[in-house]
Structure 1
Amino acid sequence: MRRALNVAEKGRGLVRPNPLVGCVIVKDGIVIAEGWHDHLGGLHAEQMAIHDAEEKGHSTNGATAFVTLEPCNHFGRTPPCTEALLWAGISEVIVAHGDPNPLVRGNGIAVLEQAGISVKSGLLEDEAAEQMREFLHWCKLRRPFVTVKIATDCKGSVDDLSGNSGRFTSEQCLVKVHQLRKDCCAILVGANTVIRDDPSLTVRLVDSQRQPLRVIIDPNNRIQSEAKVLTDGFGTKHLSEEFRGLGPMLDMLGDLEIQRLLVEGGPTTINHFLEADLVDEFIIVQSDVTHTNPVPTNFNLAHFSNISRTNWGNESVSIYTR
């Protein structure tokens, strides 16, 4: 199952609004095939694994399939995975996590069991839940999982008023930021960030088949018409007079199947999210530079119970989660 979870990661940033799913097929104690959901509308993990076995000349009759998510039993962009498993002659299915989708919930397992296939569930369930956390969050709340990312100097300043706004983190760190952007469905900033920085808010330093939606909170319609986010041809939601608050905005984004929202705005925007208790993950990237005319911050992170630390290039990174 751990191999199936690792295989599922190959679809990261490619399959939303679908979840990451991996499948490994074992026969006589030997792994004979593996598959993962690799793009929206493409083969599901079980279907790819069965196809992989066929390509390698292996019979799947009587084999065991390890799947990170309960096989679907409905027609969507592809036929049901339960049918593929039955057709392949799989005799046992081990499932990590049940599917929270109301179209599937428990149905896939029931169909397999009714057909005489042995099904066991719950193996590495917590690890699977962590891998699918944004999907599970969206299925439960119909709102995106909100990640805040902020860069500071060594003393916690987010900007240097002594000069022009600009990046003060390393190139290696910037690559990590672009990997984070790739894994998000949308990126949000406020009007002040657009006016001061004119950011692109795109994925450029890592390969990506799609660009996240840009969301600009601008209730007073202040941003310049020639701003990159309005003129570069990529998708942007410019929320001006129609902006009615963060809660309704998250509901709207949830309706658009936005499962993970990255907030890259300044302190004012970030504090509005924190005050409304709408942040699920808070990432602080701390550089070793010192700003001459600093803009200090005072984020209240008391309600985050977990913290992990890592490095992105030369920068120290603290990740706060609930």
Structure 2
Amino acid sequence: MSGTQWSEFERGCMEQALKIAKQGEGQVSPNPLVGCVLARDGKIIAEGWHDHLGDLHAEQAAIADAEARGVATQGATAFVTLEPCNHHGRTPPCTEALLWAGIKRVVIAAEDINPTVRGGGIDYLRKAGIQVSQGLLEAEAREQMHSFMHWCECRRPIVLLKAALDCNGNVDSKSGPPARFTSAESLDEVHRLRKDCDAVLVGVNTVVRDNPELTVRRVALGSGKQPLRIVLDRTLRTPESATLVSDEHDTLILHCEGDENGLECDTILMPPLFSDTEEGVDLVQLLDLLGDREIQNLLVEGGPDVWARFLADELVDEAYIFHSKANLGEGLNSGISDTVLETAGLHLVEERASGDDTLQVWKRN
């Protein structure tokens, strides 16, 4: 609510709600991260967060926490990072739970901009006689839920790009088998990125050359699920023996010709996605397709041809570039440089050590 003067205690309650909401990272998509704190008489009496898809929503979890503590919720104030839902989905409406619990006031950080939800929860609560205040730490809440907000507004995923470069900007050696050349810390960071994304995308050249798994392994997955692996494979060159085809995790191959026999994964024949040239891909159509599948975070992992297409079309929202001191000798160049990233509308927001490597984080202006 514009112009509202928030007390230090109120701000502290919402800060705590934002903090605990993070515990659902990588586990709740396509739902957003949400946290809720219940307070009464200047004290926090219970808290909860949306932990994983299909589980209790944050408000319901906070009420359950109060019950477990033996604390009455009658007359309490709920501080919640997102407008409570007012519809039956995987769980009952949070508005009804708040009303049932006897909550007298609800403080909301951000309104839910999903067209099917927007304003409905607030209207329901007010008509039920519950006082509603809005806008406390709204910017912080929207930033925490930025991929969900972006998907609601655009129906497309946020696009993250990940690349590892040697000291010459190369990604692979032209001689010898593929080998990892970045630090263990950098590899951990990549797995954290994967955990927080709904899908990971590569071109078929990466599959043929590296036979990657593209799964989350080095960090705890918790209640989350492995990201969907997506392969751009115009002529269906993905080997039947490829790990991402033969293991138990989900893979989607997009192609416009070729024989699907023997591939034990989902394939979609999409000639309109590919142009008449080998390099051409309609990435906007691709993102629309993924948005329809409720994919909100897409991690583009390679290789150079795929990176070049996303950057040239200015579709990358965040780029994570790992710079190694290793020298691969005569190698395959990444095509990535500060100039290329800046031309794609990105700017450097962070640079830090990642083991022996340097990690640069670039974001859209």
Question: In 2, Cα distance between the equivalents of 1:257 and 1:290?
Answer: 40
How many residue pairs get aligned? The number is 322
1:321 corresponding residue in structure 2: 363
Alpha-carbon distance in 2 for matches of 1:50, 1:312: 41
Find the counterpart in structure 2 of residue 259 from structure 1.
296
Q: Please say if 1:129 is aligned against 2:142.
A: yes
1:313 offset after TM fit, Å? 2.9
Q: Does 1:141 align with 2:178?
A: no
- Paired residue for 2:233, among 206, 212, 218? 218
Amino acid at match of 2:41: D
CA contact (8 A) 1:162 1:292 kept: no
Work out whether residues 74 and 103 of structure 1, in 8 Å CA contact, stay in contact via their aligned partners in 2: no
Q: Is the 8 A contact 2:348 2:360 kept in 1?
A: no
In structure 1, the residue matched to 2:211 is 198
Q: What is the SS of the residue equivalent to 2:332?
A: coil
**Counterpart among 310, 317, 320 of residue 280 in structure 1:** 317
Is 1:301 the counterpart of 2:341 in the alignment?
A: yes
Post-superposition offset of 1:312:
2.9
For residue 268 of structure 1, what is the aligned residue in structure 2? 305
Runs (5+) with no aligned partner, structure 2: 1-13, 257-268, 274-281
Q: Distance in 1 between matches of 2:159 and 2:331?
A: 27
Q: 1:48 to 1:276 in 2, by over 3 A?
A: same
Which residue pairs with 1:95 in the alignment? 108
1:306 Cα deviation after fit: 5.0
Query: SS of the residue aligned with 1:40?
Result: coil
SS of aligned partner of 1:126: helix
1:1-322 maps to which residues of 2 (within 5 A)? 1-208=14-221, 209-241=224-256, 242-243=269-270, 244=273, 245-299=282-336, 300-302=340-342, 303-305=345-347, 307-322=349-364
- Match for 1:272: what amino acid? R
State the distance in 2 between where 1:314 and 1:35 align.
39
Q: How far does residue 69 in structure 1 lie from its aligned partner after superposition?
A: 0.4
RMSD: 1.3
Unaligned runs of 5+ residues in structure 1 are: none
Q: Is the contact between residue 167 and residue 324 of structure 2 (CA under 8 Å) also seen in structure 1?
A: yes
Per the TM alignment, residue 310 of structure 1 is displaced from its structure 2 partner at its CA by 2.8
Could you say what secondary structure the match of 2:36 adopts?
strand
Contact 2:347/2:363 (CA < 8 Å) preserved in 1?
yes
Q: CA deviation at 1:275?
A: 1.3
Q: TM-score, normalised by structure 1?
A: 0.96
Deviates more, 1:289-298 or 1:278-287: 289-298
Deviates more, 1:294-303 or 1:273-282: 294-303
Aligned partners of 2:300, 2:219: CA distance in 1, in Å? 19
Instruction: Name the CA distance, whole Å, in 2 between partners of 1:293 and 1:3.
Output: 51
CA distance in 2, matches of 1:206, 1:301: 29
* TM value normalised by structure 2: 0.85
